[in-house]
Structure 1
Amino acid sequence: MAQGYVKAADLPQVIPVFPLPGAILLPRGQLPLNIFEPRYLNMIDDAMAGDRIIGMLQPQAGSVRLPNLSPVGCAGRITSFAETSDGRYLITLTGCARFRLASELPAQTPYRQIRADFAPFESDLSAPPEDDIGVDRDGLLDALRAYLETRGLDIDWDTAETAPPEALINSLSMALPFEPPEKQALLEAVSLTDRSDVLTALLTIDAASDGEGDTPQMQ
């Protein structure tokens, strides 16, 4: 159960959103954010005074100030908060459930707010079984090893080999430096098995292309 939410109706229908390219949040994943722009500082203040829910959405085409928003995002709850001496907020969002963007509300705040439809992703509120037999862990780890070897990188393999399937797949999906459309494909994958298959395919393709990337951080 995600943050005490049992069904889709338990989540707020109207939520603020933080459009950030290349960044996705997944259920029960943890996303650290460094907030410094005034409108988003305002958003965090308002969220902390309320239910602490923020929606992460990737921007699409449009203006830099007001880009179009991807149709699917994920709501997270602020589970860690700190303020720096220069006025920035360091927060951690823990993923609750994905949502479809039903509509955007007329601007009444410096930040954007949407009406979110959580019903299609109500199953996100329940964690999958830790022994999810649909996930090809060996195939995923083989693809990950090849991906990292092409970049001369490494991770904590003990953690990777023993982590529950959801924690492994979602943390890699969030942390690895894929392109925004690839991140969106991982976000929108229907099931954990589907996401594992998409992730394995992306790792295999990127390893073959010998691209560059950064060291992933296991969440």
Structure 2
Amino acid sequence: MGLTDQYRSVEDLPGTIPVFPLAGAILLPRGQLPLNIFEPRYLKMVDDALRGERIIGMVQPDGDEAILASQIAGKTPPLCAIGCAGRITSFAETGDGRIVITLTGISRFRIERELAAVTPYRQCEVNWSEFADDLVAGYGQDEVSRERLLEILKEYLETHELQADWRAIRLSSNETLVNSLCTISPYGPREKQALLEAKTLEDRNQMLIALTEKALQELSPNDTTVQ
């Protein structure tokens, strides 16, 4: 049984969740996101989540000014409407007061409204209904253009002289491959949000391919095509 298989329908998910605004970081269903927690308000959030349903919503600040504001302690920048919730599936305390956790993605959500919370961290009332398919493992992965993604990944790695575990890549499902690459991709907050909001897994895959092609073309401005 998977770490998030207990969530079989949107009725299994809470209507109110704590949210962690973090620019440039996205979580996707069944993907994993390691987080290094050190701000007091978020240490409290993790502590409360561990005592409760272990769910935290990852959401990006909305807009460039909001991203800048999010980097200042105590600021409450506006949030993007769509985020993704994860369950804390690993937890470790460090000797210097930090907490290192891993969130495993459950489902995307739409923020209905932010609550006037008494907690130091932010809480939102959320709606899961339009993302019910996120709870179905592998939903839409048969439509993914896997070979083209692998081609462009290979070209990107070779261009940047990077290595990859190709055995692990070959063994991964289409869903795991696409969502993992989106999570670790080097693109900016706007691009990351677009990847998060893509309607289907293949839409996300095609967007990731297009972003990578564009990045490669910018490195080779004299080339008109990407092989």
State the TM-score, normalizing by the size of structure 1.
Answer: 0.92
Which of 70, 82, 88 is the equivalent residue of 1:72? 82
The alpha-carbon deviation at position 34 of structure 1 amounts to 0.4
The one-letter code sitting in structure 1 at the alignment partner of 2:203 is: D
Show the counterpart of 1:214: none
Which of 118, 123, 128 is the equivalent residue of 1:108? 118
Q: Is contact 1:25-1:95 (8 Å) kept?
A: yes
- The answer as to 2:189 corresponding to 1:180 is yes
Q: Is contact 1:146-1:204 (8 Å) kept?
A: no
Structure 1 consecutive aligned stretches of length 4 or more whose deviation exceeds 4 Å: none
- The answer as to 2:146 corresponding to 1:137 is yes
State the TM-score, normalizing by the size of structure 2.
Answer: 0.88
The one-letter code sitting in structure 2 at the alignment partner of 1:88 is: R
Show the counterpart of 1:87: 97
Show the counterpart of 1:165: 174
* Structure whose residues are more often helix by fraction: 2
SS of the residue corresponding to residue 67 of structure 1 reads: coil
Distance in 1 of aligned mates of 2:157 and 2:80: 29
The alpha-carbon deviation at position 129 of structure 1 amounts to 5.7
SS of the residue corresponding to residue 141 of structure 1 reads: helix
- The answer as to 2:156 corresponding to 1:147 is yes
SS of the residue corresponding to residue 164 of structure 2 reads: coil
Distance in 2 of aligned mates of 1:21 and 1:149: 28
The one-letter code sitting in structure 1 at the alignment partner of 2:192 is: K
Distance in 1 of aligned mates of 2:116 and 2:205: 37
Distance in 2 of aligned mates of 1:67 and 1:104: 12
Distance in 1 of aligned mates of 2:196 and 2:31: 12
Show the counterpart of 2:58: 56
Computed over aligned residues only, the root mean square deviation of the Cα atoms, in angstroms, reads: 1.5
Alignment of 1:16-35 (within 5 A): 16-35=18-37
Q: Which runs of 5+ in 2 are unaligned?
A: 221-227
Q: Is contact 2:133-2:139 (8 Å) kept?
A: no
Which of 200, 207, 210 is the equivalent residue of 2:216? 207
Distance in 2 of aligned mates of 1:202 and 1:38: 36
Once the two structures are superposed, residues 78-116 of structure 1 have per-residue CA deviations (whole angstroms, 9 ceiling, x without a partner) of 010110111110100000000001110013110000011
Q: Which runs of 5+ in 1 are unaligned?
A: 212-219
* Structure whose residues are more often strand by fraction: 1
SS of the residue corresponding to residue 125 of structure 2 reads: strand
Once the two structures are superposed, residues 165-218 of structure 1 have per-residue CA deviations (whole angstroms, 9 ceiling, x without a partner) of 00100100001111111111110111111111111111111111129xxxxxxx
Distance in 2 of aligned mates of 1:78 and 1:177: 24
Q: Is contact 1:24-1:184 (8 Å) kept?
A: yes
Once the two structures are superposed, residues 104-149 of structure 1 have per-residue CA deviations (whole angstroms, 9 ceiling, x without a partner) of 001311000001100110111111269x331111100111112222
Q: Is contact 1:78-1:92 (8 Å) kept?
A: yes
Show the counterpart of 2:130: 120
Distance in 2 of aligned mates of 1:185 and 1:129: 19
Structure index of larger Rg: 2
